[in-house]
A and B are shown apart, each in its own frame.
Chain A
């Protein structure tokens, strides 16, 4: 049955043509241009010069900070989303949906708008500091710090963690958890030995979906980091729009892409492990 279906689909493979054309023209070709620009000089000769420029301390520092902040915001998103998904799993009905939508709300608003809102919240004379001073507490310096950027990332990208994680956790049957309890596992042991391993695909794909945009963002770091905190995204933007050094900008993009490809490979690897589980008798 399955074979026949796949045979029918492959005989209709021409249906994929529009997308294949689209992908070739607007995804593969531009990527090739980025690679080409990053690895050649102005005259079209191959050179590793731009790539080695990336190894200069100021670029490396930005790269390191970008990876660190992206990792940190991924971890925070995971810690926030996991318990939420566990709770949502148990009450799947009406109330669950409401909480779920609440967490997805940032997706429906323009991220530029929400980031600017965070700007006014965290400013020197912003809402947080106004509240603190009203309470007689000393103000905090948040805006233009890495912390502010992480808050912005978490706020904007949390939904991308919640969605795959929820799908993966809600797929775990209640009787699996009951079986673990029945065999002597307390709630914590059940989480560690059964829930976490079974939801690993969700954890990995959620993490990928938060890590990649966090790594490449420049809007959040520009608005919440001022010019004090430079991330790779900001440098790439500057190389293209201010310094007009397309070669260096492309080389930086290529380096960034390596991280992204690594991440996607990790996700593909955990998903292929999951393949066997889908076959239910």
Chain B
């Protein structure tokens, strides 16, 4: 495992009597691309602001490189932030914006000049040195904000939904470029977003958060393919989540039928959440499937068709590459490996989490 760089230890934070985070533990490693993913108001931005030093936790500690930085002022942290609203200094041109931090640190003129050149090259905005930031597009402004942060050579770069104001194409470009920049710099990135696609496509580690609680930490493949609970399954990608009973290992009772699966270790006759991705369901002739039903409607989404099928008293969402006629009688077939079994939430707290 890589070296630990940043650790939040039992951190709690509340605003105006509303508890945002409670006893949160989170460890971030060197040269890791971590994404904090969750719906708005889940506390992900608060975590970022605690790391940046803009908020102090009510209780708990923040460790940075083995040092307690809980009460340290933001200007003294080896951390820089790329803000959601770019937050460039409108009274300065591009070069002055980028030089802001370096000038404060008393770096030499030639050093600053080289750094500006390097940073602008990195974000693909060479020759923009003397442009007015207010006359640049949103994408360009966000690149300048990234350049302004990285010239200070932070150990951690914090990014607070930096691409949320950009249109889809530009956002995808920026995501690719950000990964490139990350590779070039070799520092830790902590990225906050509510966009699951963004999180999955860029990160080494995804931290799924809801209502201040960490739901799951894992690689993108991990959280997508093996969500630990119904919230993660539902939030990341499209899902069919059905109440089921684990009869015994490798067999689950689902909508009146016993279906073989690969999960084990839940015990016998235990209620569980059964999770199946829409693209993992095969449509076949009615007599060939485990469930038989009728296509309710078909929506063409570009790359796939979203097909809603009523079968066994449940409305299944199925994604296929080929279209099907509405009203057709079909069968559904499930591969054992594609059936994900999740434990039901135990506590009231967890239950509340899953309601969202």
Contact = CB atoms under 8 A, between A and B. Distances in A.
A184 interface: yes
A57 interface: no
Interface stretch (A160-168, A173-181, A234-242, A258-266): A173-181
Contact of B73 (A173, A183, A186, A281): A186
B89 interface: yes
- Chain A, interface size category, equals 20 to 34
- Chain B, interface size category, equals 20 to 34
A189 interface: yes
B189 to A, nearest CB: 15
Contact of B54 (A178, A184, A189): A178
Nearest to B132: A276
A184 B101 contact: yes
A218 to B, nearest CB: 39
B135 A179 contact: no
Interface stretch (B79-87, B118-126, B347-355): B79-87
Contacts of A184: 75, 101, 104-105, 152
Given A176-B89, A189-B104, A182 B75 contact: yes
Contact of A183 (B80, B84, B132, B136): B80
A44 B255 CA distance: 107
Given A180-B100, A182-B80, A183-B104, A276 B73 contact: no
Interface in A142-194: 173, 175-176, 178-186, 189, 193-194
A281 B91 contact: no
Contacts of A181: 53-54, 73-75
B90 A198 contact: yes
Interface in B46-82: 52-54, 73-75, 79-81
Contacts of B148: 183
Contact of B87 (A173, A197, A280): A173
Given A181-B53, A185-B104, 17 more contacts: A173-B85, A175-B83, A176-B87, A176-B89, A178-B74, A179-B88, A182-B53, A182-B54, A182-B80, A183-B80, A184-B152, A185-B100, A276-B135, A277-B91, A279-B134, A279-B135, A281-B141
Interface of A: 173, 175-176, 178-186, 189, 193-194, 197-198, 200, 276-277, 279-281
Interface of B: 52-54, 73-75, 79-81, 83-85, 87-91, 100-101, 104-105, 132, 134-138, 141, 148-149, 152
